[in-house]
Structure 1
């Protein structure tokens, strides 16, 4: 006589068609939206990278790999890639280090900490263009806040952030870090509030110093959060456009602060070379894909 479980459960290795139907019903809308608004434009962008197309005209001429050959051999490519790498590395490291430090400070019981938390998070919800305009007055070499503070401290005048490429890149990096500090801060703060109290108590009983506790107890617990932030902040920083467009428009000296994503805009909508812009976007997509896959694999290994 068969048991009750044999009547209730399906045969091993089989699933009822009703489950598959429900699965498709729930997943299909998301797949359709992804296919229409994400994968189709992606495929179209890759296809367009093989054409010479003036965006102001209707026709496009197939040129094969000429756009890719031009980009990889162009003199400006090294400068633009260098700007992208420097900005991205500095933005990711600065945002995560500053966010963790602020989270450690505001995780304590301090008077008015909720107000400070809200204030620290507020810039993240602001428009990048608005933040860029505000920081123009901070970095202005004539009447900006930095120039005024340096004068009061007797340190001379501020550098000309708008005429020197390395200072201009520093300017937009600081602006981006300030704007996105609230994001890393909130994520790290949530992770700190969910850490294991028994490990803290064990470290206190063992007499571990602050640095030992931070390195041996706290950081290992924050590893999944750190990996998550490294991926999201990296992807976001590589796609920064609004701050650069408002503050420097890719200059000074032509490509002083031009990154790859800004080059996509400039080639497509300023120079009207949509095919060449699609080429830069395709290269950028491949780079992002490789970096993301590597980071995800590293995260998987770190959590095992």
Structure 2
């Protein structure tokens, strides 16, 4: 028999064209999330930029007065809580980067090994991630309470003059809040790295073992570099979480007495007793710029290297 008779001709599969109903559904699926993003994110952001150049009491639109860059000049040169708050955000970022992230990575490596009860440990360490930041703040408020808190109770100083005022002492209040943030962030980092470790090709480890590499060398020279996408995500998330930290400090003591953060200053000026919409908006714009600049630079640098 000839080849023509044995080989059936292959037919090209034609792509089905979208019907009118398909186009309507796709349009709705794209339009609704875009509209929500526009209304809840971009319009408030643009409004904050505009209001940062004005003075307004937040009630009547007719009371808005254009002040130019006066609000920025006031925030940067006169508003005394601004620079301490910015410094506290930097402390927050450094702590999450140098403590929470390595801790999450260590937990992921530990749980990636063949240990008994790995699923139970994962659930325990991941449990704080499932809680809202406000609830985390409430939990640690109970832990830090001067008179009835867990820590002072364990130390045997609860209710006594020697009890440590973890949230009332301005020199340690920030670090107390950072510990609470680390407790939550480490579990999130652990899950991300654990997912990355599960996705590493086992043949890479076997090849490194055949070449005489020990476990430490295999991890840092073979496994860890293959998780570059995970590293990028963790760096960006850590940076964003550090700059927008708010819930914990607000629950603990309204972002005062050593717990001043930029986000707390924004809320205090927008809805607090000393309400000043223009100043609060100016701080919000400064925070937005600080957040965008390093993220855009880092992502452009990393993805630029990958394309090269």
- Structure 2, unmatched stretches of 5+, are 1-13
Pairing of 1:217-236 with structure 2 (within 5 A):
217-236=222-241
Structure 2 residue 158 is matched with structure 1 residue 144: no
* Structure index of larger Rg: 2
Change (3 A) 1:303 1:98: farther
2:277 aligns to what? 274
Q: Distance in 1 between matches of 2:26 and 2:53?
A: 36
The one of 128, 136, 145 aligned to 1:131: 136
Q: How many residues align?
A: 287
The answer to whether 1:69 aligns with 2:73 is yes
Displacement, 1:141?
Answer: 4.1
Say whether residues 1:242 and 2:244 are aligned partners.
no
Compute the TM-score of the two structures, normalised by the length of structure 2.
Answer: 0.83
Question: How far apart, CA to CA, are the structure 2 residues paired with 1:158 and 1:110?
Answer: 40
For the 8 Å contact 2:89–2:242, the answer to whether it is kept is no
Q: In the alignment, which residue of structure 2 is the partner of 1:5? A: none
State how far apart, in whole Å, the 1-side matches of 2:30 and 2:278 are: 34
Check conservation: 2:96, 2:185, Cα contact below 8 A. Answer: no
Asked if residue 285 in structure 1 is aligned to residue 288 in structure 2, the reply is: yes
| Unpaired segments ≥5 residues, structure 1 | 1-7, 10-17
Between 229-238 and 97-106, the greater mean CA deviation after superposition: 229-238
Instruction: Give the Cα separation in 1 of the matches to 2:75 and 2:26.
Output: 43
Q: Tell me, yes or no, if structure 1 residue 195 matches structure 2 residue 184.
A: no
Partner of residue 50, structure 1: 53
* CA pair 246-30 structure 1, distance change in 2 beyond 3 A: closer
Q: Is the 8 A contact 1:231 1:292 kept in 2?
A: yes
Is residue 251–residue 258 contact of structure 1 (8 Å, CA) maintained in 2? yes
DSSP 3-state at the match of 1:275: helix
What's the counterpart of residue 263 of structure 1? 265
Name the Cα RMSD after superposition.
3.0
Distance in 2 of aligned mates of 1:95 and 1:162: 21
